[in-house]
Structure 1
């Protein structure tokens, strides 16, 4: 439905008013009081209808539910819309959902609908269903519902917005990545053997006395029964694999001839982003999914040593930096939905705080840095962070990857496996390159890009 401009009377109402005016003029010419009464009635009826449809407009309650509640880019979600209103209305109400332009034409429906549930307090609910699909990540406001009310005779209309809108969260799509040596050698249950001697039986596990603060899950009950006091395991034969992801969210690092800005006509008008940064977001999502599926626990940091997803307005727990399991991966995906580039902060990237945190986690598994353009000084500062790490992998995402040659060389001299890519580079090829070294700039692959969003 194409909403017409706001109007007081419908064509029928204007026709009735015109007939009333004609009758009044005719009564003046012919001197007929009955024509005058009829004319005044015809004139007043549209006016009263216009006043009544505005003052006596019924109240509506809108409820909206998404299935699934959080959807991956290029996947569809089903929107269940329930509109509750009075049992009796003067006429049928035309309604339209308000959608961002990327979703195309707004769905239209008539109230009351075909499916109705009579409820309490004189209300009934009409239910509607439609589907949405976005090719890009983000958080999009869905609603409010626009209603076009009319009187029983169809003489006047009144448009109003029904209160109530909801945010649809679209997460970046996780690409499937090949298995590489970055994830290390694991057993079938997803754990990595430590350098400690495996014990032949549970009774031979080394124990010590319980100390304040020890988790109860480490209590060794057979030893406790023998010693008569709480005893805890001193060492374990297996550990959960861990990895650290370093995210670069600086606007200046992803600028191409100036800081990226919100562009109403671009692919991401709601977010401060760029093509290179969008590639980085997909890389972060794909690598996170790849590692979590292999039972890794992830730690996400930014280049200032802070929690990597703290700046995202869609983050369920903004200050969290450690994630594990399906719940952790879901939290990462939801946080990446609305993450955007940040203006340069009052601080130094790759500072001592970050390097200390990376140094303290050297035994926590590989470090994977997803970066923008780096200066020579920044590359030198980050290069030392690879020392002692079982695997240090760096991806430099830039619109002109050939300009990152010096940065890559400095990182490689420090022990990083480093590679440069742009928005056309295959992420699978980049990830595969971490199996061998030294690494070169990954060739770009032109992929179809379309800003249009299919319904």
Structure 2
């Protein structure tokens, strides 16, 4: 049973394959009473020599056994499936779980009770009562789940409780398959600030890229089966001694690194309204926005690790690798605090990178870490930092003076640094950062570009 995929039958749990002895343990109070009364009547009939009483006793004793046998055979002829719609939802949004029961036997079932195991954070455990299901019939039910906390939550296994029409026996069957619901961080729609240095097809970025690599620039490569013969580059063919074709150079896609500070000592408090959760949601919003704007985006943490399989050097593009973009969101769904004390590993990764936009979400910074963060900015690139003082998130007080010193330290290194206070929307800070950068660039006599914002 794959999340969001087609329904699939689930096999029985191996613990339930206990044979008829386990099935006899499913006799209800009524079934045990009938069995005891039948045995007692048979014994009395034998002692008293009453054949009619013997027939009644045998009927009372055999009826529960017949119900156990029929129900035991029926429970392994009922198939169950589960489907999530969708399998990945933002925190605070609902997903619907669809359950389907198929009676694959030639006999109708009795009363069925479905119970699906879900984590407490997703809501109460759903239970459904299904009336008689005809031979070859199908029943479908659904329920909703919702979580305010991001993460990956298992759904299942599904339990099925069967009753016979006489109420003599009650058996439980568990299905071993389960699904996983991924709750990703909340994302916020960011303002469409005009971007410079974007990929081809995105406003001014195309003109600037073509100024460096025009449409007429060519790079010869070896001929491949299916290439148009009109693209054969004869001069290169004569030079290399093999058939060469022209290959137009593609403009380079603008890059951006989103840095998320996950150090445990940099944040205080917990819960959906904590500073750390704001930083995670902010990183998710920035990733989504920049991918939509045509950037090749990389997610980096203070541990120096980026999302595995996200493409070259960890960068993912929404057009070239949708799976990588989803993988970054899945990573943010389960990201937790790191035990690291500093940002040195992230600094080493960024020091070896090229130019590009850097968007960072920092927790508490001491003087040493602020100096290290200041050196992360590349001379040829631009950087913006959203810095939090987690103490203000607990007390709701004013921004501490130490935070102002850290912001000043980052700004002197060329960062556009903003303080994040409780209740602040990232969209407002995003627009404020663009205005501040434009003002700084105008005062310096430049064209006002912000490595991506202008």
Per the TM superposition, whether the score is higher than 0.5 is: yes
Matched with 2:128 is 108
> Which residue, 349, 367, 389 being the options, matches 2:358?
367
Which residue of the partner structure matches residue 240 of structure 1?
Answer: 253
**Is this contact kept in 2: 1:192–1:241, CA < 8 A?**
no
Give the 5 Å matches for 1:5-84. 8-10=26-28, 12-13=30-31, 16=34, 34-35=52-53, 38-39=56-57, 41-42=59-60, 45-46=63-64, 49=67, 53=71, 57-84=75-102
Stretches of structure 2 that go unaligned for 5 or more consecutive residues are: 1-24, 393-398, 439-454
Out of 336, 339, 344, the residue aligned to residue 341 of structure 1 is: 336
The aligned residue for residue 358 of structure 1 is 350
Which SS does the other structure have where 2:288 is aligned? helix
Q: Which residue of 1 aligns with 2:318?
A: 325
Any conservation in 1 of the 2:385–2:417 contact (CA below 8 Å)?
A: yes
Q: CA deviation at 1:63?
A: 2.4
Deviations 1:104-123, CA, capped at 9 Å, x for gaps: 35141427658x8xxxxxxx
Inter-partner Cα distance in structure 2 for 1:40 and 1:200: 95
Moved more, 327-336 or 241-250: 327-336
Question: Partners of 1:223 and 1:58 in 2: how far apart?
Answer: 66
- The secondary structure found in structure 1 opposite 2:339 is coil
1:94 aligns with 2:103: no
Q: Which residue of 1 aligns with 2:286?
A: 287
- 3-state SS of 2:278 partner: helix
Alignment check: 8 A CA contact 1:417 1:438 kept: yes
Q: Is the 8 A contact 1:387 1:415 kept in 2?
A: no
Deviates more, 1:99-108 or 1:227-236: 227-236
Classify 1:113/1:248 alpha carbon distance in 2 versus 1 (closer, same or farther; 3 Å): farther
Structure 2 vs 1, CA of residues 58 and 360 (structure 1 numbering), >3 Å: closer, same or farther? closer
Q: SS where residue 305 of structure 2 aligns? A: coil
Equivalent residues of 1:144, 1:165 under 8 A apart = yes
1:381 to 364, 372, 378: 372
- 1:387-407 CA-partner distances (Å, limit 9, x unpaired): 414321111244324243333
Q: 1:394 to 1:157 in 2, by over 3 A?
A: same
> Over residues 101-140 of structure 1, what are the superposed CA-to-partner deviations in whole Å (9 max), with x where a residue is unaligned?
22335141427658x8xxxxxxx46241424342433222
Q: In the alignment, which residue of structure 2 is the partner of 1:170?
A: 183
- Report deviation, 1:232: 6.5
* SS state at 2:411 partner: helix
- CA apart distance, 1:286: 0.9
Unaligned runs of 5+ in 1: 1-6, 117-123, 261-265, 268-273, 311-315, 440-455
Give the SS at the match of 1:239. Answer: coil
Aligned length: 392
Match of residue 298 from structure 2: 299
- The residue number in structure 1 matching 2:138 is 126
Residue deviations 1:193-215 (CA, integer Å, cap 9, x gap): 4487468862xx3x5676x9xx9
Quick one: structure 1 residues 44 and 199, their matched pair in 2 at CA, closer, same or farther if it must change by over 3 Å?
closer
Q: Considering only aligned residues, what root-mean-square deviation do their CA atoms show, in Å?
A: 4.3
Supply the distance in 2 between the matched residues of 1:254 and 1:319 (Cα, whole angstroms).
32
Q: What's the CA shift string for 1:418-443, capped at 9, x where partnerless?
A: 2232553212122122123389xxxx
CA separation of 1:187/1:343 partners in 2, compared to 1, >3 Å: closer, same or farther? closer
Distance 1:320 1:90, change over 3 A: farther
Structure 1 residue 8: Cα displacement:
4.4
| Alpha-carbon distance change, 391 to 131 in structure 1, aligned in 2, over 3 angstroms | farther
Aligned pairs for 1:133-148 (under 5 A) are 133-136=145-148, 137-148=150-161
Higher helix share: 2
SS of the residue corresponding to residue 385 of structure 1 reads coil
Instruction: Give the 3 Å change call, closer, same or farther, for CA 382–198 of structure 1 in structure 2.
Output: closer
Superposed displacement of residue 51, structure 1: 7.3
Q: CA deviation at 1:295?
A: 0.7
Q: What residue number does 1:120 align with?
A: none
Task: Measure, in 1, the Cα distance between the counterparts of 2:75 and 2:247.
Answer: 71
Match for residue 415 of structure 2? 416
Query: SS at 1:65's partner residue?
Result: strand
